[in-house]
Structure 1
Amino acid sequence: MTFPETLTQDAARIEAHLMATLAHRADQPVIHAMRYALRGGKRLRGFLVLEGARMHGLATTQALPAAAAVESLHAYSLVHDDMPCMDDDDLRRGQPTIHVTWDEATAVLAGDALQTLAFELLADPALGSGDTRIALVAGLAKASGAEGMVLGQALDIAAETATAPLTLQQITELQAGKTGALIRWSAEAGAILAGADPQPLARYATALGLAFQIWDDVLDVEGDPEKTGKRLHKDADAGKATFVSLLGLDAAKTRARSLISEAESHLSPYGDRAANLIACARFVISRDT
């Protein structure tokens, strides 16, 4: 299958697994909010988990709980990120955000529950031995916590009241946590499941994650709100430094393309098996959402 076909099929598999996991939970607003938050999206992180596993000869079903786990954790981060105490967004994936559709308390609890669901999914015996599952749990905890995504978000919030705009190096470090850490874990997970060296995929994902964020900054400037499904120009309105504001639009695009070439170079050990990951990298800087 082509990369777009694989991405679409993987997204459907991941969503089905998540909905099946929640199917018999209590009929409560927080569960409804969790399901709402889990619907839609590109599922790029989940795809990276599944494709990394397939590249190492594993069945998609063996890696599916890990792919669902990172998508659940990513959904939690979006729910909390959209709240008034953070980015105060009322639109996500073209739909009203959780705190708008329900209320702030439900959004907090739904986000908390989505985070814990991620680690529940990583306990699935289908993922292999106890040591393998512990490695996945430890890696995701580090990638999503105070050394990864949470740290990046904290630095992003602090930048809003800083006396001077962040430098290019500071923004790069911020985004390596806020966006890059989960992308890196996702790329590594398949190799970990197979007991293989994850370093080539980690290097690929480091470049991919930074390119992904640069392209997000590009879309914030010249994207179509109807396609992105969210409010644009937020960073400029808040006076925050971005890759585009520091580099300029054309130079930011050039930097993103250079990072994608770098990402592709790290896949050379895999030969033809890396075709979908190469296509994924190119997709990152051609997307309009």
Structure 2
Amino acid sequence: MSSGSGHRGLPEVAPDPLPIDVVDNHVHLDITREGDAPLDVAEAIARARSVGVTRLVQVGCDLAGVRFTMDAIERHTEVVGAIALHPNEVPRLAAAGRLDEAYAEVERSAAHERIRAIGETGLDYFRTGPEGVAVQQDGFRWHIDLAKRLGKALQIHDRDAHEDVLRILEEEGAPEHTVLHCFSADLAMARECAERGYYLSFAGTVTFKNARGLRDALTATPLDRLLVETDAPYLTPSPHRGATNASFLVPLTIRAMAGVLNVDVPSLCRAVSDNSERVYGPWE
């Protein structure tokens, strides 16, 4: 397997372990990039644990992913779940006449004690065109309501839809614990989110050379509102950009974030761990 930037396959060499254990608060253990061999869930967990990433939030965002997540949380104590219908999935299900049926399955599954978040939900104007905006927005509102009714955190996917995401959250009233997954907006939005008490989760993109705006946004995020994630198998941090991502690469992102924030790595790890347990509750 290659460890070079621009290549598929997992990097062969793990980063140095973190001094304090942290959480990968957004990973897709059910998704395999085209051409990759499936990574066994137990192996993914073991490799993550070896570098101090001891807890994972597995995210299932279509019906197959929901079912995978329900199985994973029963089999692995290191894993809790987040489930929803991805904003790109909602219009497809609506067009097929299956959306209400899918909502019902998500709601039944979300009642499980080890499902700790509703997500990833939100808006994606990159892959879904104008004809899908209305149903996406309705789907976002449905998931916000579900999170509040069940007392779960909310994980938000926001792609090219920053203003509408913030508007709908204000109109509906955000859940107590609201996470902007893979934060991708600018300094101004980071400040707005911080003022509202939302959590911002940063992925490997914050390590990319061309991500100065994202690093500026990071500096505006209070330590008690920071989370870290992989969004694996995508968004692999430098120096492995383009390779397949996995939770054992979180230390690369943590160390890059600590450098941007001018804080020591143990302090950032402690904050990320504490924030994760505040949002999702204890793992065991």
TM-score range, shorter chain: 0.3 to 0.5
Tell me which of the two structures has the higher relative contact order, counting C-alpha pairs closer than 8 angstroms and 6 or more residues apart.
2
User: Which protein is richer in helix relative to its size?
Assistant: 1
